[in-house]
A and B are shown apart, each in its own frame.
Chain A
């Protein structure tokens, strides 16, 4: 790699390396699928427990949050370690979702303290980082997932208020799991090309 370069060769090296760097952002599908499955299951379990009159039905949510946080942290650390690189996209995503997680926990505490059902609010709030991530990655299914979170959040509040946990699970399936599966296929394709 030490021979004299022509300007065209220099430009070719620059383009090739920048293209390589662009593909170095962490794969994101794992997080959408992990949180999607956990949230959808929790919503369904919460709904069943609530219908059966279990007083501590809400405990499923902090339990799910703990499992998701541990899983995400372990996976993030392992991926970062394996790739040996941190991109601007990785950092933006990390802080976007960290800020979202903190806001989410505070919002749930406030809403529960005020006696309000948190599910519609959580759906509407979840729409924001999902939509932004879709825009940043230029991945349309996630952008649509974010939009659906907003629509389903409003639906859960005004149309089916008694079924908000189930609506929440449905929202997670269309906002996280389906886009997550499509993202997995997209990222697997990028890795093999």
Chain B
């Protein structure tokens, strides 16, 4: 039996954690993602850029109380990719 290939963008623990969080919320700030994933600022920033470049998340930069604020939301493409990834993972686990 052939296994469905896993999306390399999502098959990374931090990127998968970010996308899974964003599936459950509509929009989340950088600090919220930082707190809930336990990642370092640098690593999270790098992985958010990867997800943004892949078109899986949208990133909005603004100012909150005079400090820069980054908030992220899942795109339709990101949600589709996540659903496909979960389907593929289930295929692996069911065999």
Contact = CB atoms under 8 A, between A and B. Distances in A.
B13 interface: yes
**Secondary structure of the B contact surface, majority rule:** helix
Interface residues of B, number: 33
B89 A10 contact: yes
Interface string A103-123: 000000000000000000000
Interface of A: 1-3, 5, 7-11, 13-14, 16-18, 20-22, 24, 81, 83-88, 90-91
Given A1-B37, A7-B93, A20-B21, A83 B16 contact: no
Interface of B: 11-14, 16-17, 20-32, 36-39, 43, 64-65, 71, 85-86, 89-90, 92-93
Main secondary structure of the interface of A (DSSP, over half): helix
A18 B24 contact: yes
Contacts of A21: 20-25, 36
Contacts, number: 89
Contact of A87 (B12, B25, B36, B37): B25
Interface centre among A5, A7, A9, A84 (most CB of B within 10 A): A84
Contact of B17 (A1, A8, A87, A88): A1
A58 to B, nearest CB: 40
Contacts of B25: 21, 24, 85-88
